[in-house]
Structures are given as structure tokens and as C-alpha cells.
Amino acid sequence: MKKLFWYLLLIFVVLVMLTLILVVDKKLDNKKEVPQDQTKEKLSLLNNIDKKIDYFHYNYLDRYLDYQKKYPNLSDIDIVTRVNLGLDQPFYQNTKPSNELNKITILVNKYTYLPEDYVPNNLTKVSNLFSTSTRELVYEAKEAFEKMAAQAQEDGYTIRVISAYRSYHYQKGLYDNYVSRDGIDIADTYSARPGYSEHQTGLVVDIDNGKLDFNHFEETEEFHWMENNAYLYGFILRYPKGKEDITGYDYEAWHYRYVGKEIASFIQQNNLTFDEYYVRYIEK
């Protein structure tokens, strides 16, 4: 019996080790060095960047090179980042479901979508002191926003939520109205299609100062306060000026996304979009 026990234990250990090897091998599949001369020649056109960054994918190599030909002035790092995001392909094509559901690191953009029935956990009503109506955020984001708005108030500024969590169906109604009014091509520059809206994550606020329409938020003193302080509370300007080709949306001075203090500080210091940060430091 003892021999049988040890024999079975040995088989179990071997099977576990083989399973682990297969899992690791699968994760590294895109990172394996491909020895073919043709591949080495192609990599040299990208300055052998596969040795420099850990989010390079060999199966995207031809796409990287095609994108490089189209945008020869971009750095190799930017080429890899943008292709990994999917920016070498039309918006809303070759889309995939969002990972990181119910996490503050979730990515939602024009290539990454949320399920129709997705409702984030722990939605909580934002205080009426800092909101125009009944607005909800994920609890962590709600707490951070209220602290930020309270500090702004103490400094003599007014920051209030005019839009926060939106369900799939609410977003569909908005988007359909915009398409009816402006046509799909124009609507896509400023409104997300249902399932592709960050508002559905419960981590986003649109804000104003209670005096000017939100479209003029950039002209307010509150906007400048947010420029200097939002990241201290874990918020980032999600669709910044000059990054429209990466985010896929027009610049929105009023749209802020909660990502936590650490990520927000890094993005602030390095002038990144959340899309770029996600590809380089979360997804890989």
C-alpha cells in the first residue's frame, strides 16, 4: 500500500509540473524568440524592440511594420503601443470583451466593450452636495470624488457631477439620439456606442461648475484647479487635448475617470492616456 501511495503521489506531482509548464509556455508563446532570418530582418526594422519592451507580440509583427510605414515619424514604442491597442484597424472592428471587470483598472474604449447586462458592484449615490441629481459611482470612486469636491469647495471652487454611471440601455438612448441628429460619423467622435461607454463602469464623472455649461468647463477656474489636483484624488482627464488619435474621442475637458492615486499620478507625470498605460503596464 505504501508503494502504491508513493507511486500515485509521484504521478500527481509530475502531472502538476507538466500543467504548470504548459500554462507558462502558453503565456510566453507570443514572447518566444523566432529564429527565422526573415523575422530577424523584420525585427531589425523596429530596432530589435522585442528585446526592449515586454508588451511586444511577435504575432503582431507584420502589423507593427505596416503601421510604421504609415506613420514613419512615430517611435517604435508608440507603434507597438498603438497596434496593441488596435489603432491600426478601424474603430469598432475586431473588438473584444473588457477584462478587469469590477476593478478600477478596467479598460473600455472603441475596441473593448462591456456586456449589455454589466452593472458594476457597489454603486453608491453621490452626495447631493456635489451632484445635480441622483448620480451613482462605484463606492471607491464616489468617496474619492467627494473628498476632491470638498477640498475644491474649501479652496473656493465648485465641482459637481452632472453625469456618472450610465446603463447600457441609457447609453443606447443617448447615442441613438446623437446619431439621429448628427449622423453616425460625427456622433462617433463624441459619444460612445452602447457597451463601449466608460460611464457604464461607474468610474467616470462628467462635471461642471454650476455656472457655465459643461462644454465650456475648460474656460473655468475649476478646470485649472482640476488640472493641478485631480490626480491627487485618483482622477485623470480621460480624453485630453492632442490625444484624440489615441482615445478616438474629441477632447473633453469635463470627463474624468477614476483610476486610483498611484496610476493617476503616473499618468499625470508621463503625459499618457489611460489606453497607453493599460497596454504598457496592465495588459502586456
- CA-nearest of 7, 1, 56 to 29 is 56
How many whole angstroms separate alpha carbon 105 and alpha carbon 234? Answer: 12
Question: What whole-number distance in Å separates Cα of residue 92 and Cα of residue 198?
Answer: 15
**What span, in angstroms and rounded, lies between the C-alpha atoms of 37 and 52?**
20
As given in the structure block, the three cell numbers for residue 19 are 500543467
253 contacts: CB under 8 Å, gap ≥ 6 = 217, 218, 223, 237
Residue 244 appears among annotated catalytic residues = no
DSSP lists the bridge partners of residue 161 as 131, 207
Exposed/middle/buried for 158, CB within 10 Å: 0-12, 13-18, 19+? Answer: middle
Q: Enumerate the H helices of 28-96 as residue ranges.
A: 37-45, 61-70, 76-85
CA atoms within a 13 Å half-sphere pointing along the CA-CB vector of 228: 7
Residue with cell 465648485: 158
Q: Classify 123 as helix, strand or coil.
A: strand
CB neighbour list of residue 239: distance below 8 Å, 6 or more residues apart: 247, 249, 250, 251, 252, 255
Q: Give the HSE-up count for residue 6: Cα atoms under 13 Å, Cβ half-sphere.
A: 2
Q: 136, 146, 198, 252: which one is catalytic?
A: 252
Contact 135, 126 (CB under 8 A): yes
Q: Which residues are catalytic?
A: 252
